[in-house]
Chains A and B, each alone.
Chain A
Amino acid sequence: MALDKATVARIATLARIKVADADLDKMVGELQTIISWVEQLDAVDTKGVEPMTSAVEVTLPMREDKVSDGGYVAQIVANAPEPVVVGEGAFFTVPKVVE
């Protein structure tokens, strides 16, 4: 698959990474090298082979659906860049998203 600037710009948007227009060409080249290299997998016959979804054969454990922990509001916002504390509540903040 040949990558172009438009595709790489779209991936950057999906990944939420700002890439300056001037850097796009360089990034196209870098990603193209890696994508071409991984495409050697096309040579492997995988017909009838199931994708591996677990590194070790285990049945995932089940537990009762009940709250077992919690009540750490102050600790949860302690690392936030611009938290707001109002009365009993503590909030993460983001730029305004509605007018």
Chain B
Amino acid sequence: MAALTDLTIAEARDQLRARKISARELAQAHVSAVAKAKQLNAFITETPEMALSMATASDQRLKAGDGGALEGVPLAIKDLFCTKDVLTTAASHILHGFKPPYESTVSANLWKAGAVLLGKTNLDEFAMGSSNTTSYYGPVHNPWQRRGDNRPLVPGGSSGGSAAAVAARVAMGATGTDTGGSIRQPAAFCGLVGLKPTYGRCSRWGIVAFASSLDQAGPMTRTVRDAAIMLGAMASHDPKDSTSVPRPVPDYEKALTGDIRGLKFGIPKEYRIDGMAPEIEKLWQQGIEWLKAAGATPVEISLPHTKYALPAYYIIAPAEASSNLARYDGVRFGLRIPGDSLDGMYENTRAEGFGAEVQRRVMIGTYVLSAGYYDAYYLKAQRVRSLIARDFTEAYKKCDVILTPTAPSAAFAIGEKADDPIAMYLNDVFTVTVNLAGLPGISVPAGLSAEGLPLGLQLIGRAFDEETLFRVAGVVEKAANFTALPPGIS
């Protein structure tokens, strides 16, 4: 029998229900794996005791035959989700010691479905980054390495700890959040499936806010089926988030029919960017061939405002962040650095509590929202955002789903790109349009780079059509047959 940590969520679920394994032994195997993988720095807080007691409760429910959809499945939670009485940091010094007295809706939904908490995963500070190097708790290491080169690589970001934990077989799945690519890019860098649902599909209540009109929670898993199972448990309508949408949650697993005959998939010509690595281009072509072989038809489409998506994002996201992060003032929770006046205390607390990238974005956001500049920057960017959304509306008159690469490169080394914020921002060139338009997107591992690192393909769907995404993603997964594992994992 394979190790318990090698099981997929679907396999574990079936074995748990058949009482072939117990939730307790499954939790114990993962708790031990977490303890052994400390060098990845994937967790900010480990919760082994909670894991074991939750698993014991799961075993009782399984015995009684009333286990939930994720009963006994050990998961990691990005440390951006508030968890009741468990330290929640957003990887920022400013939330020093913060133990929320409440539970985020998404994590509460997971516990209601029977999932087991292994711990809270590391991330870029306030989810601002694409490499998990801006965390106050230090960078996360990607379990993958280049062939013949043992320099530590980034896991991507911002959900880097979640990605590293799932790729290293430490957690069966993990939650992420995605504001510009923060689920899909780390999923691609670590050889995982990562889904950003349609804006409004998952409640944002209890998730530390970065950019409220872009943030969305989603699953990070080793298979498409596992992502479908997890999303089914995470999604809900929540009266506490007025942007969460009152639509029934479908049985996403049922969408995995493998049948995409007659489906039209769009290939956006603007995504053939200058300087794209030939191996990324080749993988994209391979993806087209896979879908054609399964009976779908490629259609060339145009998303003419693609090149303006990142600049628009770097106005809108910092603007919303500067407003959301105004609450961190040293008064009600977290860090307080004394000052000789009230303003002095605010300024000292925020200077000490926020890292360099967060300060930079709060400053940019403050500037673009300030008197005299609001129209020129913020309103302009919101108009461009309308055009980007309109591009997709036009494209979906010609196709059902869009196929692109997930990221312009494979994982890079920790420290690379560190001096150039804009080079770092370009990681999100293929993912950020999806957030601006509010659409669902999924990254599926599709191949290896010449250096032996995972590469992902992205599928973008119509709003609230996650089912088509899962169906097509399942076909890509089967055709790619991605079985490679990080070194040291067998």
Contact = CB atoms under 8 A, between A and B. Distances in A.
B312 A41 contact: yes
B382 A8 contact: no
A44 interface: yes
B457 to A, nearest CB: 24
B387 interface: yes
Contacts of B109: none
Given A15-B363, A33-B422, A92-B331, A38 B370 contact: no
B366 interface: yes
A85 interface: no
Contacts of B338: 95
B119 interface: no
B120 interface: no
Contacts of A34: 314, 360, 364, 421-422
Interface in A1-49: 1, 7-8, 11-19, 27, 30-31, 33-35, 37-42, 44, 46, 49
Interface in B60-92: none
Interface string A85-99: 000000010110100
Interface residues of A, number: 51
B350 A56 contact: no
A16 B422 contact: no
Contacts of A60: 242
Nearest to A57: B463
Contacts of B421: 30, 33-34
Interface in A47-68: 49-56, 58, 60-61, 63
User: Chain B interface secondary structure, helix, strand, loop or mixed?
Assistant: helix
A71 interface: no
Contacts of A18: 344, 347-348, 350-351
Contact of A79 (B98, B308, B383): B98
A46 B383 contact: yes
B449 interface: no
Contacts, number: 163
Contacts of B480: none
A15 B382 contact: no
A38 B199 CA distance: 24
User: Chain A interface secondary structure, helix, strand, loop or mixed?
Assistant: loop
Contacts of A31: 360, 363-364, 367
A81 B96 CA distance: 10
A78 B101 contact: yes
A58 B367 contact: no
Given A41-B381, A52-B389, A17 B362 contact: yes
A39 B362 CA distance: 18
B258 interface: no
A95 B422 contact: no
B213 interface: yes
Contacts of B360: 27, 30-31, 34
A38 B334 contact: no
Contacts of B336: 81-82
A65 to B, nearest CB: 14
B384 A56 contact: no
Nearest to B389: A52
A17 B213 contact: no
Interface residues of B, number: 72
A82 to B, nearest CB: 7
A50 B389 CA distance: 12
A33 B363 CA distance: 13
Contact of B214 (A14, A37, A55, A63): A55
Contacts of B438: 55-56
A12 B344 CA distance: 12
A41 B305 CA distance: 10
Interface in B385-430: 385-387, 389, 421-422
B342 A46 contact: no
B97 interface: yes
Contacts of B351: 17-19
A79 B363 CA distance: 27
A16 B343 contact: yes
A50 B199 CA distance: 20
B433 to A, nearest CB: 12
A33 to B, nearest CB: 7
Interface string B317-341: 0000010001001111111101111
A84 interface: no
Interface string B237-248: 001001101100
Contacts of B305: 44
Given A16-B346, A78-B99, 5 more contacts: A34-B421, A40-B311, A46-B380, A56-B199, A95-B338
17 contacts: A1-B373, A15-B350, A15-B366, A16-B347, A17-B347, A33-B421, A46-B384, A49-B386, A49-B387, A52-B383, A52-B436, A55-B200, A56-B243, A63-B239, A76-B332, A80-B333, A81-B333
Interface of A: 1, 7-8, 11-19, 27, 30-31, 33-35, 37-42, 44, 46, 49-56, 58, 60-61, 63, 72, 75-82, 92, 94-95, 97
